Amino acid sequence: MRLLILGTGGRANRHAIEFGKIEGVEIVGAVDVDPARAKIFAAKYNIERTFTSLEEAIAWGKFDAAANVTSDKAHYLTTLALIAAGKHVLCEKPIAENYAQAAEMASAAERANLVAMVNFNFRELPPLQKARELVLSGEIGRLRHLDASYLQSWLVSNAYGYWASEPKFLWRLSTNHGSNGVLGDLGIHILDCATYAAGSSVERLFARLKCFEKMPGNRIGDYDLDANDSFAMTVELENGALGMIQASRWTTGYINELKLRLFGDRGALEMVCTDQGSSLKACLGEDVNSAVWREIGVGVVPTNYKRFVEAAESRQMVEPGFRYAANLQRVMDTAIQTERKRCELKVPN
């Protein structure tokens, strides 16, 4: 496979490293509107060609697939252009700013019979895959309740750098730069993890979204800092389970922690993922009576990058695909509506 990387910011480094490990994959081009950044990136990973626009790269055309690592706002038009050019696409999440855009992207990929996959990176966690396996096999019985959170503290710490001085942080806080706030950034991850592990989609929800004052006027230069910083959501899944899902960038003391707890009528599971690693614990069988939790083995799973390459080479669609991502985007769109209307709503079919 000959691969193009679109966007050469921080996240693109992971793509270059992981694709570089896969036999038969050659990264043949890098695209960025900043030519200096593109050249530095290309030199770091021995990429022969750089382009300052996607149009220029498509006109050259000598690639089979692309990794879209641009900002959220740019995903829609750039991905449609890649699909129109007949290229398979691995896109960062969320794939669009709203359901209508995401659904259009999914339909375009389906019509073109191209592999269009979303890089939900937590799908690479063996504990998540094992949790889903145990839920679907009935190991914890009927799912009754779930609790899911994604906590970060970069608005109250400098663990990743000082947010107010760096565009890579600022655009995530600004709706006019294409951000749906913590809901679109962290929320889509925790929604994916919760519903994937539960084996069921969100049917109804009510969400509260809040943007806190970060500085006088909540503005820095061209960035209106108006995107939500925290959300708390109650959900009912199609399988009848109730749950609480939340995410925030204000959770002091938690640099980057995703936690998922699933409670059935015969047992329970708890997955925790931080920058230091991930684990899965279970309370099953006789342990239910004494509330004893035991860590369980989870094995290994292939990376999203490897799965994408294999799917593109065989032209066989693999999840999570664009249609799935569009449906998840519809959940987020509904969450925004519930905040405006201050009432619970059913997620449209």
- Domain containing 68 — which CATH number? 3.40.50.720
Residues 112 and 143 in one domain: no
Provide the domain limits for residue 74: 2-121
Does 162 map to a domain? yes
Residue 175's pLDDT is what? 94
Are 117 and 134 within one domain?
no
Nearest to 146 by CA among 293, 261, 281, 269: 261
Total-model pTM: 0.94
Mean pLDDT score, 20-46: 97
Domain boundary among 284, 300, 316: 300
Same domain? 165 vs 269: yes
> 203 — phi, psi (to 5°)?
-100, -45
Asked if 130 and 261 sit in the same domain, the reply is: yes
Instruction: Tell me which residue of 227, 225, 253, 72 sits closest to 152, measured CA to CA.
Output: 253
Kindly report which listed range (26-30, 74-78, 155-159) carries the lowest average pLDDT score.
155-159
79 and 223 fall within a common domain: no
Yes or no: say if 163 and 260 are a contact pair by the CB < 8 Å rule: no
Predicted local confidence at residue 100, as pLDDT: 97
Of the candidates 103, 121, 139, which is a domain's last residue?
A: 121
Instruction: List pLDDT tens digits, range 254-274.
Output: 999 999 999 999 999 999 999
Q: Which of 77, 99, 121 is the last residue of a domain?
A: 121
Contact (CB, 8 A) for 28 and 63: yes
- Say how many CA atoms lie within 13 Å of 186 toward its Cβ: 29
Write the CB contacts of 149 (distance below 8 Å, at least 6 apart in sequence).
190, 245, 246, 247, 257, 258, 259
Q: Is residue 149 part of a domain?
A: yes
